[in-house]
A and B are shown apart, each in its own frame.
Chain A
Amino acid sequence: MTKTKVKLTPLKLDDDAIFLSSKSKSDDGDESPEEKDEDEDEDEGIDERSHAQLLSDLGKLSKRKKAARDVRVSLGGSSKKVDTSDILTRLGTKYMEQENKKLTTTTKPLEKHAALRAKRAAGLEKVTIEVNKWENLVYSRRRAEQLSFPVENADVRIMTSEKAQTTKPKTSLEKKVYELLKGANLEEKKETDEEKATKRAMSLMELKERNAEIWRQREMKRRYEEKSRLQNKSKSRKYHRILRKERLKKEKQELEMLEKTDPDAALERLNNIEHSRIHERMSLRHKRSKWAKQQGLRVRDTKDQTAKSALEENERMYHELTRKLKVNNKDGEEHDSEDEELLELLKDRQAAIDAGEYDPMNPWTKKVTKNDSGIEDNGDDKSFSRFKRFWEEVNKRKIVELEAQKFVEENERSKQSSFKLVKEKNVQIENKQDGTAKEIKENEDVDQIEEKESKEEKENEGGKSNSEESELDEVEERPTKKRKFNNEDNNENEQDKEFSIDSMFDDAEMELKKKVKRRLEKLGVDVNKPVEWNTIKRRKKNKQKKGPPNIQEFDFSSENMRDNLDEGLSRAKTMDDMENLQTAQGEGTISKNDTGNKKENIEDKLGKGEPKKKKIEVDPTKFIKVNAKSLRTAMPDNVTKGGEGLDDSEEELEEDPEDLIREAFEDDYLIDEFKSEKEAAINKNNVELSLALPGWGDWTGPNIKVSNRKLKRFKIRTPKAPPRKDASLGNVIYNEEADVHENLRKTMVSELPYPFKSVKDFEASIRAPVGRMFVPENAHRKLTAPPIVTKMGTVIDPIDEDQLLKKKLKKTLPQSEPQKSKKEMGKNEKGNNKGNQKGDKNKKRNNRGNQKGQKNRDKNKKRNNRGNQKGQKNRGKIVK
């Protein structure tokens, strides 16, 4: 509301004068309208004319004037008509002038629209100020690393009079008031300390009693539970065994007692036991029950120890139940029967041998071959034979090694380092080994024959000694094939032996080699020079009887043998290749005479084999290509790996003036060349693979191609490759394999993300780990804390003004801070750890980045702090 003062102006004064005159005519100027009416009634008769005048005047009155009238009326006046000029003269012109000087004319009230606008502007200002009080809270919440909802209410605590500090009267007035209060006994008497203590003590006693009671009940309950638990618990095997034994003992005692007292009852008991035994024997409950079978399966499948022990227990039960039998049967019926069976078996066997059908390996006559000692003995025999064989082998090896060592020792003693000798020795070793092996075999054979004879004799006798039986059996068991093999291959068993004792030879060879090498080194010969097998082969072919030129030739160990024998995968396919091979061989023979070096051989192949070809097909482009290559390199010649041939050609070219001219026009060729090169590069990746095999479904052989249909049929279909990057670039070959950054590019951020202000910060944030692999668990938790925490089903109210209060409370009452909840503690700690939270928005990230002792940590912190202070100041201004 705009305030407008009523001010006296001459015009208004006139109005007043009119009004006053009318008023003076009408009444004494009472305040309430009702009274006024009454007055009018009284004055009715006095002056009707003036009344009419009054009414007309009243109609003109405005509210403002009415108020003015009231004021004026209080001045009092006569019923006479007052002339305004009189009043004015009475007041005096001087006074009027003075008054008029003080007063100024009011401005015209604003138009409605303008007034409203002003009002709105003011309103907006007010609203802004009001709303601004939230700003700090809002911004701090926006920046907060974690917000938990619903928002906790402000902690408003009620201080009781006891807790509150007693205020001491300071002024005299206060003192008086307090005295008065005390006198009036208005204050509640406070409990003295003693009273409190007694109260507390009482309660403590009660508490103790109650606690004791609770404890007693709990303890009783616990004991009861323990007891019942133990009773319910499944007992151990041992427990049951003891129990059973006790029971049996008891029964036995009872039985004995019964025998003495009541023989009939005892007999009945015995019958019962007998009955149970019979029952068991009939049913074989503990032998073949379903349960036992299952247990057996379990043992077999799962190796279950409990099942195994259960089975054992079962077995024991069975024996226990059927024990009585053994005690009764002492005649040895079973034994007799067994003997009879054995005799029958032996008879059968004899008959079979007589008939010439006896074959120990024949499964159908196995019954006959089976000897009397049973299956277990057989098993023993097998293991024994294996054992024997093993020891034979070991003995053999020992012999061979001994021999080898002997030779080596001899070698050392003689200290002669000729290759020939060694080779001869080696041959000797071989021969000797063969000889020993032969001897051994022969010996064996003799033994076997002897054994066989003895066995036959023993069979007739029906031998019983275990050792003899086992030997006998061993011979029987030994496959006859081996014997045959030995007999047949006695003449040509060199190879076989070589294979069978490969490893032994290898060992000996290694030993030998080492020693020879040592010796040679002493003599100053280089052993490590590699020798190609081909050369040796050739040498063998050409001059087999000549002495071997190289030590490597002695490497006859089985592995190397195999390596040497295996041919390389590369084969000569074309005639050219064959030629090359031949020439290489030819040269090899020559070079061998000169140097015997493999490398040079190869170089010869490359260097001299190719020029031959090139001489045949003369192609200017290729010629130029070579030239271009040599020109392109800026490196000195000695750095380039070029062979002699290349150097030669270069020299020749430089000399030739015609080639220089060709060089000048080489572009034409180069373009073609480039095109073909690019094509090759493109085709390099477009390799079509087919799994078609020649000879499957059709004929194959030399000069027969696999049909296209078949190739197509088994073609491996690969997804279409993305378009090449040089597809649109004419004169560029883009080596896609060399583009290492293809994958890297995916992980590269093209522009600085929003909250970050420098690349460095962003990089730091990315570099900083958050996983628990890399940071301590606590840090990991803090770093991965969710920014918003809400509870399912909990209503989140809009923020309340209490929050503002909370903030203020915290600020103003830091010393009387209430007990923090755990959550808050966590938060604050976090804040402390990570520095000032009121920094930029990217502060969090910065800190994360810098957590691990980054150098710029402190710097950042400072910077941020500075920023904060500024921000806070500004905000403070707005609020205030």
Chain B
Amino acid sequence: MHLADADKIEGKKSGPAGLVLPNVGHKAHMYFNPEFIHFLVVTTSHKNQKPTLNAVELQGFLKSLFVSSAKGHAIIYLFKHEKGRFLGTIQDAEIFLCEGAASHRRLPSLPPHTETRSTIKVSADRFYFVTVRFLKTLFKWPLQKSSNLDAVPYCLVSTIVTGISHHRHKNEFITCGERVLLWDSSTKSPRFSYDWNTSGDGNEASVACVKFNPVETNLFASSDYANNLVLYDTRAKEVIKVKLTTRINALAWNPMEAFILTAASEDYNLYSFDIRRMDKNNRVINMHSGHTAAVMDLDYSPTGKEFCAGSYDKSIRIFRVEDGKSRDIYHTKRMFKVSSVLWSADNKYILSGSSDHNVRLWKARASEKMGKMKEREKASINYSEELKRKYGHFPEVRRIARNRHLPKHIYHSAKEHRIIKDSQSRKEGNRRAHSKKGAVPFVAARKKPIVGLEDHQ
């Protein structure tokens, strides 16, 4: 498909989503007499109802931008530099580098890589980035605008490498795969090998994902195919290990809250952990559900208030950190299984890479008006946002606010899952009713996904 054609098709929806909210921007007389205000106050809720409803209805506008269509036939992975400038896509054929979310300039593509996971990271000082090629070779690329990108074969690793995470400040990075290896970019051999990722039967389980903590930079976490979630400290080595019922596909640290770690699970949910309280009782501090297939990737917004998750159910969901249900769902007709998501560093866009070979750029808030605004317009938008917050609990407002068009498959599978869940809970209830008291205990939903802590008897 030609890029231009694709643009036409995908860009159809992208009408101006500017909000011009009625009844809020007019100049009006003010009444400062408290008694009078008290009188008027009673009517405000009714007065505000219409603007509130309007505002809520207008938020339904969705704007997606189409970034690029990648040639080839592979999974696309996105990465960004910790400083936020660079975005890239990787697939089995090429690597694209784009600078900035808004400009998305395409840098010359790189020679083919055959990877299955996001195995590319930019260094802290932004002079190079590292990629893994053929699962065994690390490549170091100079990263300058004008220079020809000539890869420098960095070293051959003795184990299989499937992922990289780079330290925020130091020139250190971690690779995962067969083992978790800590590298120093000045040396050509791993500085340290972490080998706690053995599964129960003694066989080594390969590691799916590894992530450095951007705030408390000595910490990093990994998840492996034996359903473990492991926390490391580069000084004290391994720290804690939690075994879950299902595998964790991706991890993300909250960039504003050093101790919050969120995991995208294969069981369609996302789990937030507080690493300080990963004991028996407080394992999961929040469960974010909504997806109807395995969650493949997630990324925090730079404000740390929200995160987005891409799933095999061909949709992207945006969650508020404190909420269990998603704030919004993004999907298009043509988007296929989402393998990678990225929240832009200016908090305005979300990027998604999916197996339909496309990278899509979405607005992080669908109804947000981009571009310059006059003070008055800003004020009116702020006012309507406040009204939405204020009256968000009212059934009518909430109904409109939560109403989303869902693709058929998501709708039906969600329905099915609900039925399954209901039947399970019913069964449990029945069992509880027909057995000895206390024999079938109540287990909190937040405790269910976790098998237990390793090493802590």
Check if A771 sits within 8 Å of B24, measured CB to CB. Answer: yes
Q: A700 CA to B295 CA in the complex, in Å?
A: 75
Instruction: Say whether, besides A149-B303, A774-B44, A784-B383, A131 and B393 are in contact (CB < 8 Å).
Output: no
Q: How many interface contacts (CB-CB < 8 Å) are there between A and B?
A: 183
Instruction: Decide if A790 touches B347 in the complex (CB within 8 Å).
Output: yes
B456 CB to nearest chain A CB (Å) = 8
Interface centre among A130, A784, A800 (most CB of B within 10 A): A784
B48 CB within 8 Å of chain A: yes
The answer to whether the Cβ of A758 comes within 8 Å of any Cβ in the partner chain is no
- CB A777 to nearest CB in B, in angstroms, measures 7
Q: Are A767 and B44 in contact (CB under 8 A)?
A: yes
Q: Does A522 sit at the interface, judged by CB under 8 A?
A: no
B237 within 8 A of A: yes
- Kindly provide the distance from the CB of A513 to the nearest chain B CB, expressed in whole angstroms: 47
Whether A147 and B30, one on each chain, are in contact in the complex, defined by CB atoms closer than 8 angstroms, is: no
Residues on the A chain within 8 Å of B258, using CB: 131, 134, 138, 799
A124-156 near B? 1/0 per residue, CB < 8 Å: 101110111011001001000001010000000
A120-B239, A134-B257, A767-B45 given as contacts; is B347 within 8 A of A796 (CB)?
yes
B31 / chain A contacts, CB cutoff of 8 Å: 773-774
A488 within 8 A of B: no
User: Is the pair B41, A772 in contact by a Cβ cutoff of 8 Å?
Assistant: no
Residue in A149, A748, A769, A799 whose beta carbon sits within 8 Å of that of B40 in the complex? A769
Query: In the docked arrangement, what's the CA distance between A122 and B219, Å?
Result: 15
In the complex, what's the smallest C-beta–C-beta distance from B457 to chain A, in angstroms? 9
**CB <8 Å contact, A747 and B48:** no
Give the complex CA separation of A750 and B42 in angstroms.
20
Contact A127–B83 (Cβ < 8 Å): no
Per-residue B-contact encoding for A108-126, CB less than 8 Å = 1, 0 else: 0000000011011111101
CB of B28 within 8 A of CB of A134, answer no
Interface string of B351-393 (1 = CB under 8 A from A): 0000000000000000000110000000100110111001111
B-side contacts of A20, CB under 8 Å: none
Q: Are A122 and B236 in contact (CB under 8 A)?
A: yes
By the criterion CB–CB under 8 Å, are A799 and B303 in contact? Answer: no
A81 at the B interface (CB under 8 A): no
- Per the bound structure, the CA–CA distance linking A242 and B256 in Å amounts to 78
Judge if B310 is at the interface, Cβ distance under 8 Å.
Answer: no
Instruction: Please determine whether A852 and B41 come into contact, CB atoms closer than 8 angstroms.
Output: yes
Asked if B219 and A770 make an inter-chain contact with CB atoms under 8 angstroms apart, the answer reads no
Cβ of A845 to closest chain B Cβ, rounded Å: 8
Q: Answer whether residue A158 sits at the interface, using C-beta atoms and an 8 A cutoff.
A: no
A141 to B240, CA, bound (A): 27
Cα distance A749–B393 when bound, in Å? 7
Distance between Cα atoms of A748 and B231 in the complex (Å): 47
The docked-state distance in angstroms from the alpha carbon of A777 to that of B383 is: 12
Instruction: Please tell me if the beta carbons of A131 and B240 are within 8 angstroms of each other in the complex.
Output: no
User: Is there an interface contact between A790 and B348, defined as CB atoms closer than 8 Å?
Assistant: yes
Q: Which chain A positions have C-beta within 8 A of B45? A: 747, 766-767
Hey, which chain A residues are within 8 Å of B405, CB to CB?
none
Asked, given contacts A765-B390, A771-B44, whether A788 binds B38 with beta carbons under 8 Å apart, the answer is: no
Measured CB to CB, the nearest residue on chain A to B279 is A124
- Select which of B82, B256, B345, B382 is within 8 A of A138 by beta carbon: B256
Interface membership of B214, Cβ < 8 A: yes
Chain A, range 843-865, C-beta contacts under 8 Å to B: 852-853
> A767 — which chain B residues lie within 8 A by C-beta?
41-42, 44-45
List B contacts of A119 (CB < 8 A): 236-237
Q: Which residues of chain A from 583 to 599 have a CB within 8 Å of any chain B CB? A: none
Residues 9-39 (chain B) with a chain A CB within 8 angstroms:
24, 28-32, 34, 37-38
B28 CB contact (under 8 Å) in A138, A773, A786, A792: A773
Contact A795 B28 (CB under 8 A): no
Interface size on A, residues (CB 8 A): 60
- On chain B, the residues within 8 Å of A147 by CB distance are 303
Task: Tell me if A785 counts as interface (CB < 8 A to partner B).
Answer: yes
List of A residues within 8 angstroms of B456 by Cβ: 117, 121
Q: How far is the CA of A778 from the CA of B402 in the complex (A)?
A: 32
Cβ of B61 under 8 Å from chain A: no
Q: What A residues does B215 contact at CB under 8 A?
A: 134, 798-800
When the two chains form the complex, which single residue of A116, A141, A775, A794 contacts B346, counting CB atoms closer than 8 Å?
A794
| Distance in Å: Cβ of B35 to nearest Cβ of chain A | 10
A793 within 8 A of partner (CB): yes
A766 touches B236 (CB 8 A): no
Q: How far, in whole Å, are A135 and B31 apart by their CA atoms in the complex?
A: 43
Residue in A120, A770, A773 whose CB lies within 8 Å of B240: A120
Chain A residues near B168 (CB, 8 Å)? 798
Q: Does A776 reach chain B (CB closer than 8 Å)? A: yes
Type the 1/0 row for B378-419, where 1 means its CB is closer than 8 Å to any CB of A: 010011011100111111100000000000000000000000
A120 to B237, CA, bound (A): 8
- Among B233, B387, B455, the residue within 8 A (CB) of A126 is B233
Question: In the docked arrangement, what's the CA distance between A138 and B102, Å?
Answer: 30
B452 contacts chain A at the CB level, 8 A cutoff = no
Q: Which residue of A lies closest to B23 (CB)?
A: A771
Cβ of A188 within 8 Å of any chain B Cβ, yes or no, is no
Q: Please state if B28 and A770 are interface contacts (CB–CB under 8 Å).
A: no
Among B34, B49, B219, B303, the one with the most A-chain Cβ atoms within 10 Å of its Cβ is B303
Q: Are B396 and A770 in contact (CB under 8 A)?
A: no
Contact status of A753 and B44, CB under 8 A, knowing A120-B239, A852-B38? no
Interfacial chain A residues near B41, Cβ < 8 Å: 767-769, 774, 852
Q: A141-B256, A798-B302 are in contact. Are A774 and B37 (CB under 8 A)?
A: yes
**Contact for A750 among B305, B383, B395, CB less than 8 A:** B395
Q: What string of 1s and 0s marks CB contacts (under 8 Å) between B96-109 and chain A?
A: 00001010000000
How far, in angstroms, from A794 to B85 measured CA to CA in the complex?
10
CA of A786 to CA of B384 in the docked complex: distance in angstroms?
A: 10
| A796/B302 in contact, CB under 8 A | yes
A117–B216 CA distance with the chains assembled, in angstroms: 23
Cα A769 to Cα B347 with chains together (Å): 30
Please determine whether A120 and B455 come into contact, CB atoms closer than 8 angstroms.
yes
CA distance A800 to B255 in the complex (A): 9
B84 touches A786 (CB 8 A): no
- A808 CB → nearest B CB, Å: 17
Query: Would you call B259 an interface residue if the criterion is a C-beta within 8 Å of the partner chain's C-beta atoms?
Result: yes
> Across the interface, which residues of A come within 8 angstroms of B346, CB to CB?
790-796
Q: Is B328 an interface residue (CB 8 A)?
A: no
As a 0/1 sequence over residues 88 to 126 of chain A, the CB contacts with chain B under 8 angstroms (1 = contact) are: 000000000000000000000000000011011111101
Q: A541–B124 Cα gap in the complex (Å)? A: 114
A746 vs B345: C-alpha distance when bound (angstroms): 40
Is A404 an interface residue, CB under 8 A from the partner?
no
CB pair B348 A772 closer than 8 Å? no
Is B238 engaged at the interface, CB distance under 8 Å to the other chain? yes
Q: Are B44 and A769 in contact (CB under 8 A)?
A: yes
Closest to A756 in B: B393
Q: 1/0 per residue A59-73: CB within 8 Å of B?
A: 000000000000000
Q: How far is the CA of A879 from the CA of B46 in the complex (A)?
A: 48
Q: In the complex, which of the residues B239, B379, B383 has the most CB atoms of chain A within 10 Å of its own CB atom?
A: B239
Q: Does A658 contact B (CB under 8 A)?
A: no
A788 cross-chain contacts in B, Cβ below 8 A: 303, 305, 347
Partner of A786, one of B47, B385, B394: B385
Listed A/B pairs (22) with beta-carbon separation below 8 Å = A116-B238, A122-B236, A127-B231, A747-B396, A749-B393, A767-B44, A768-B41, A769-B41, A769-B44, A770-B386, A771-B44, A773-B28, A773-B40, A775-B30, A776-B32, A777-B30, A788-B347, A795-B84, A797-B83, A797-B302, A799-B215, A852-B34
7 tightest CB-CB pairs across the interface, nearest first?
A123-B236, A795-B84, A796-B302, A798-B255, A798-B214, A753-B393, A784-B386
* Chain A residues close to B by CB (< 8 Å): 116-117, 119-124, 126-128, 130-132, 134-135, 138, 141, 147, 149, 746-750, 753, 762, 765-777, 780-781, 783-786, 788, 790-800, 852-853
New A-B contacts (19) at CB < 8 Å, excluding given A131-B216, A747-B49, A772-B28? A121-B456, A123-B236, A123-B238, A124-B239, A131-B219, A131-B259, A134-B215, A141-B256, A749-B395, A771-B24, A774-B41, A784-B385, A788-B305, A795-B85, A795-B302, A797-B255, A798-B215, A799-B256, A852-B34
